Amino acid sequence: MASERMTKIAADNVAPNRRRGGDLRTLLSPATSGATAGFMGVLTLEPGEVVTEHYHPYSEEFLYLVNGAIMARIDGEPVSLSAGEALHLEINVRHRLENPGDVPAFLVFQLGPLAPRPELGHVDTEPLLEQESA
């Protein structure tokens, strides 16, 4: 549902992006809601799943772990994150997310400001898990 003043989007109505791993769903963004300051979404990592290492040359990232536990590798250094904890990543910080546990991890993320163009927003530093469809 969208109006001139607000947009409401359910995660179940957004197709998952699995290119970097996990089940990532961008909920609010320029494409979905006309956002101009950043974008936000949710990520589910099943046990053993990862989000491959990348960085954002234009955006800070904010992560909040709702359920489960993850290991974030920040510029290669391990940082444990438990449910109820948040993590702020500055611009250009390489990061990889791993679920080493035996229960799914569920995170909320937000990035801002926006890159000048969407394709400039992420720089991958390891191979993607799924190739983009042509």
133 assigned to some structural domain:
no
pLDDT of residue 15: 94
Q: Which domain covers residue 99, as residue numbers?
A: 20-104
CATH of the domain at 72: 2.60.120.10
Residue-level pLDDT, tens digit, the chain, 134 residues = 656 789 999 999 999 999 999 999 999 999 999 999 999 999 999 999 999 999 999 999 999 999 999 999 999 999 999 999 999 999 999 999 999 999 999 999 999 999 999 899 999 999 888 654 43
40 assigned to some structural domain:
yes
What is the number of alpha carbons within 13 Å of residue 20 lying toward its C-beta? 18
11 assigned to some structural domain:
no
One-letter amino acid for residue 25 of the chain: R
127 assigned to some structural domain:
no
63: closest CA among 33, 22, 124, 119?
22
Burial class of residue 88 (count of CB atoms within 10 Å of its CB; 0-12, 13-18, 19+):
exposed
Q: Has this prediction a pTM greater than 0.85? A: yes
37 assigned to some structural domain:
yes
Q: Which two tokens stand for residue 26?
A: 């961008």
29 assigned to some structural domain:
yes
pLDDT of residue 4: 72
One-letter amino acid for residue 117 of the chain: R
How many angstroms separate the CA atoms of 134 and 127, rounded?
17
pLDDT of residue 134: 38
What are the DSSP calls for 60-94, one per residue? EEEEEEEESEEEEEETTEEEEEETT-EEEE-TT--
131 assigned to some structural domain:
no
What is the tally of structural domains in the chain? 1
